[in-house]
Chain A
Amino acid sequence: MARKVSTRRKLVMSAIAWTLGILIFFPILWTVLTSFKSEGDAIASPPVFLFFHWTTENYAEVQSRSDYVLHFWNSVVMSLGSTLLGLVIAIPAAWAMAFSPTRRTKDVLMWMLSTKMMPPVGALIPIYLIFRDVGLLDTRIGLVVVLTLINLPIIVWMLYTYFKEIPGEILEAARMDGASLAKEIVYVLTPMAIPGIASTLLLNIILAWNEAFWTLNLTTSKAAPLTTFIASYSSPEGLFYAKLSAASTMAIAPILILGWFSQKQLVRGLTFGAVK
């Protein structure tokens, strides 16, 4: 049943929504604008909004000073690698918790989530030392491993929620039909959970892409992803807002584009099961 909404109410709500939207989007817009300014315009007071001398020299400068393609590639390997590895571990784990729960399942889930509550800096020194001793500092494998571990609780939780929506009788039917556990997961559970798995995949790629704490602390150059690449522009030589903005724009552009094209899937995934 559709509720009647008065025109005035609609106008007010739209105004609020647009204000909030612009407020949230503004910093990104400002970053993109600043990236096309000269360093002088970038720190001008009062700030100039659109009427400045547009230039692309910051981008050329950034590319010549540091290897964008290398960092971009590191980010791709790190986010895709950690997410895929996480899924391989999390799908069977979530299966076990959703379809074969024990009295302790809820506790295990809460315990896993609780690891996300701990400030990561508490684990930094031990992990740093372990990485140093086994030679994983500034390596892609090291990054993939640590990001997999960081995001695993979220992956398991999301998959668990989606799996809970799948009727158990269908898996029982597969078992009666002679499917082994592995075949049941590969042929029946996974295809049915594709929407949920896809949104888990997307969200975790974004989370891993944006992860700054571990990437900054565990890499220096060879394996450094885009987060490190941005950070290198707030250097002791002083702040170069325009170049920093150009670097930031280049770092967030891929994930913004990915998010834009998959927003339908993301929203569907995040509200999966909310409405039957």
Chain B
Amino acid sequence: MGSITLRNVSKVFGEAKVIPSIDLDINDGEFVVFVGPSGCGKSTLLRLIAGLEDVSGGQIVIDGQDATEAAPAKRGLAMVFQSYALYPHMSVRSNIAFPLKMANIDKAEIDRKVNDAARVLNLTDYLDRKPRQLSGGQRQRVAIGRAIVRQPKAFLFDEPLSNLDAALRVNMRLEISELHQTLKTTMIYVTHDQVEAMTMADKIVVLNRGRIEQVGSPLDLYRKPANLFVAGFIGSPRMNLIEGDYARAKGAKTAGIRPEHIGLSREAGTWDGVVTIAEHLGSDTFMHVEVSGIGTLTVRAGGEFGCRHGDRVFLTPDESKLHRFDDKGLAL
């Protein structure tokens, strides 16, 4: 129903090779997240799939059909934009009905579909309002409503939550995940926020400078990052990367250990260090510990760990969860 395949896809803007060459398979019904720092080409890649930009080379196959040259409207995809891109002069009802009207569906059918979508998205009371009379979260839901009514082969989301405040963002994240559970339609979601990527994705595609660094399930990327970039990008707080004697002793250029894989004690451990900053969140305590010969390490302790700036603590890395990288930054 909604499989998408990219073969050798590249994009060049003038002199700049934004995407040198990408191969990717997206299966029907998958929730795929493109994640990476800004300027990594994730939005460009999404726009290439949508057909809003022409590819410079390669092939895009949607549902087994070559869609490389097809107009955006002919690809059967729906898109939710960062700015929502609602039609400001139309009511919520007309906004949601617009794709159906463009498809020349009859009036009664349009009404039924719009009402269904409005019910699912809690918009029934707002159908006759204009977009400017809605809150950010409601606008986002209208944009999603406009996407779901036409039952597309796949949904494309371009950083849809980045204009919302933190609390609303968590809510919408859940709503989008639920929507995916209900519809079981392929979704491609672009974000720079690795928490969104980790919580929502079936499959994460980590992009950097127009290249795919790694593709895998959230836990694959967390447990087996293929290189230093992915190791540093996935996981919060970031993985500690240690160079020097300790790494050499482990037979690597760089050793990586996540903050949650370091044991913490007041009495004894492999390393001893001094707490420089302690962040008490209640559920967790994050500590930045200065260890001589190693550097500053971030350590995560579950629950409350009573310590302050200047306290002495002992750290023990869980060596079964140690990551090792060679001098090219690739995992060993």
What residues make up the interface of A, taking CB atoms closer than 8 Å to B? 167, 169-170, 172-180, 183, 187-188, 191-192, 194
**Which residue of chain A lies nearest to B102 when distances are taken between CB atoms in the complex?**
A178
A178 with B77: in contact, given A170-B87, A172-B52 (CB under 8 Å)? no
Interface size class of B (residues with CB under 8 A): 20 to 34
Q: Are A174 and B81 in contact (CB under 8 A)?
A: no
Q: Which residues of B contact A169 (CB under 8 A)?
A: 81-83, 85
Q: Which residues of A contact B71 (CB under 8 A)?
A: 175
Q: Are A175 and B87 in contact (CB under 8 A)?
A: no
Q: Which residues from 100 to 147 on chain B have a C-beta closer than 8 Å to any C-beta of chain A?
A: 102-103, 146
Q: Which residues of A contact B73 (CB under 8 A)?
A: 175-180
- Name which of B73, B82, B86 has the most chain A CB atoms within 10 A of its CB: B73
Q: Are B89 and A191 in contact (CB under 8 A)?
A: yes
What residues make up the interface of B, taking CB atoms closer than 8 Å to A? 50, 52, 71-73, 77-79, 81-83, 85-89, 98-99, 102-103, 146, 150
The answer, among A176, A180, A188, A194, for a CB contact under 8 Å with B87, is A188
Q: Which residues of B contact A194 (CB under 8 A)?
A: 89
Q: Which residues of A contact B82 (CB under 8 A)?
A: 169
Q: Which residues of A contact B103 (CB under 8 A)?
A: 178
Separation of A178 and B149 alpha carbons in the complex (Å) = 13
Q: Are A192 and B88 in contact (CB under 8 A)?
A: yes
Separation of A188 and B85 alpha carbons in the complex (Å) = 11
Q: Which residues of A contact B146 (CB under 8 A)?
A: 173, 177
Q: Are B50 and A176 in contact (CB under 8 A)?
A: yes
Q: Which residues of A contact B79 (CB under 8 A)?
A: 172-173, 176
Q: Which residues of B contact A178 (CB under 8 A)?
A: 73, 99, 102-103, 150
Q: Are B83 and A175 in contact (CB under 8 A)?
A: no
The answer, among A170, A183, A187, for a CB contact under 8 Å with B85, is A170
The 22 sampled A-B contact pairs (Cβ below 8 Å) are: A169-B83, A170-B85, A170-B87, A173-B79, A173-B146, A174-B98, A175-B52, A176-B50, A176-B72, A176-B77, A177-B98, A177-B102, A177-B150, A178-B102, A178-B103, A179-B102, A180-B73, A180-B102, A183-B102, A187-B98, A191-B89, A192-B88
